[in-house]
Amino acid sequence: MDDFHTLTATIERLLQIRCGNYKEDYIKRRLSSRMNAVRIKEYLEYNRFLLTNQEEQEKLRNALTINVTKFFRDKEVFELVKRELIPEILKKKQRIRIWSAGCSSGEEPYSYAIILYEIGLTHPSIDGLIYATDIDYEILKRAKEGVYERPALDNMTELQIKKYFTLRPDGKYEIKPHIREKVRFQYHDLMRGEPISRYLDLISCRNVTIYFNEPQKNDLCKVFHQGLTAGGYYVMGLSEYLGKESEPLFKSYRPLLKIFTRQ
């Protein structure tokens, strides 16, 4: 085994992050940013350092799972979800289940929760719930707290901010309980090969698979196919694409917005 693979084997064992399922380039770039930070040049030396340094293990975990996100990221996608996708689902049923997979610090699932709440004002019988999952324990803790800096809210109107957040004395914004209660956060590794639930109406997995290799992307599509109801929606990030092998599983619904329906 070469030095790089010795290190990735350590990472898999210590952090349960399966490096082999990510693009090698991506892992190397993330590793080099951590190695530079601790002034280590060789993989083997970093391997030794990692084994004995718990703080570095957490830093590396954060580096490997970059968590950039914001409320209503790519506004037009969420506008379409509110204007078309949820009303379409509501024609068939009142119980709506959404999975925000790779939810990071919670901005994405809370955005869906706000949409469900707003639609609920005119459809009081709607029963909506969002499963929100991530591989990063630290970020899930922050997501549950639901406390944000102002820039995370940039895509929202002042009125929305007033309605859905409490401005705290420290200048941060805390999501209100009536939105928070619609979201269930939990740890889930998308590489585990099974969906968080079945009969889902919409799976939002955005800006996560950019780091996955092609076979992993295909496997993930199969997992999402199993999790969705017939005709359920798969919402991807704008720069993502379906694995070639899984194209027959989904039909393009809005190609530019990377929204698909389950075949």
Would you tell me which residues interact with ligand SAM (CB under 6 A)? Answer: 65-69, 73, 102-104, 108, 134-136, 139, 189-191, 206-208, 237
Cβ closest to ligand SAM, residue 65 vs residue 261: 65
Cβ closest to ligand SAM, residue 68 vs residue 121: 68
CB of 257 to ligand SAM, least distance (A): 13
Cβ closest to ligand SAM, residue 126 vs residue 152: 152
Cβ closest to ligand SAM, residue 69 vs residue 246: 69
CB of 141 to ligand SAM, least distance (A): 12
Cβ closest to ligand SAM, residue 150 vs residue 192: 192
CB of 235 to ligand SAM, least distance (A): 10
Cβ closest to ligand SAM, residue 40 vs residue 227: 227
CB of 237 to ligand SAM, least distance (A): 6
∠ CA 211-213-215, rounded to 5°: 145
Can you give the three-state secondary structure of the chain, one letter per residue?
Answer: CCHHHHHHHHHHHHHCCCHHHECHHHHHHHHHHHHHHCCCCCHHHHHHHHHHCHHHHHHHHHHHCCCCCCCCCCHHHHHHHHHHHHHHHHHHCCEEEEEEECCCCCHHHHHHHHHHHHHHCCCCCCEEEEEEEECCHHHHHHHHHCEECHHHHCCCCHHHHHHHEEECCCCCEEECHHHHCCEEEEECCHHHCCCCCCCEEEEEECCCHHHECHHHHHHHHHHHHHHEEEEEEEEECCCCCCCHHHHHHEEEEEHHHCEEEEC
